[in-house]
Amino acid sequence: MRIFALVVIAVLFFAACSGNHDYSPKPRGYYRIVFPKKEYQEYVSNYPFTFQYPKYAVMTIDTQTRVSPKYLNMQYLLNMQFPQFNGTLHLSYDKFTSKKMFDMLVEDARKLAFKHTIKATSIDEGTWINFPDHKVYGIYYTIDGNAASAVQFYLTDSVKNYMRGALYFNSEPRLDSIRPVLNFVKQDVNVMIKSFRWKK
């Protein structure tokens, strides 16, 4: 019996000393993200506007079939794609011919932003974009939480031109995992807005 007890004690002693085993739960890990250098270029096209966009983004014409509101005469759809981050800033340009059409476009922008209320923890529409020297006005929607889109906005000259933007990532909307990328891309969206000009 004494020999058996000594063997058990010896086994327990060596098991305890064989290494430092920490079995406590570890926090969730994420991939290390290498961000490119911030460099911008002019978007040149036949469209009635211009702006700066990052060199690591790709501008494409959106060819997807979409149902446009019946009150629109024309609509241009563009994508500012961020291939490295699997995200896209969707842009749509509309030309309006009456105050009624303008009011409908503004209300559509508000409705599309607030469609994310189910997943969002808050939606801030209080940021008024106002560059009177360039006749660029609008509203910037910041959508917090696990919503599919974290940034939406519209720009207008209040006379005939209207541009709407919405940022989406092609991944499960989990704010904790995309926050570093979102903050990085938000800077590019802000540069695009601040550099936005209507062509004369």
pLDDT digits (tens, 9 = 90+) for 125-138: 667 888 889 999 99
Rounded to a whole number of angstroms, the distance between the first and last alpha carbons of the chain is 100
CATH architecture for residues 42-198: 3-Layer(aba) Sandwich (3.40)
What are the structural domain ranges in the chain? 42-198
145 contacts 121 by C-beta, under 8 angstroms: yes
pLDDT digits (tens, 9 = 90+) for 22-76: 556 666 555 667 889 999 999 989 999 999 999 999 999 887 655 555 555 557 7
- DSSP 3-state percent helix, strand, coil across the chain (nearest 5): 30, 35, 35
**Is residue 106's pLDDT more than 80?**
yes
Structure tokens at 45: 């096209």
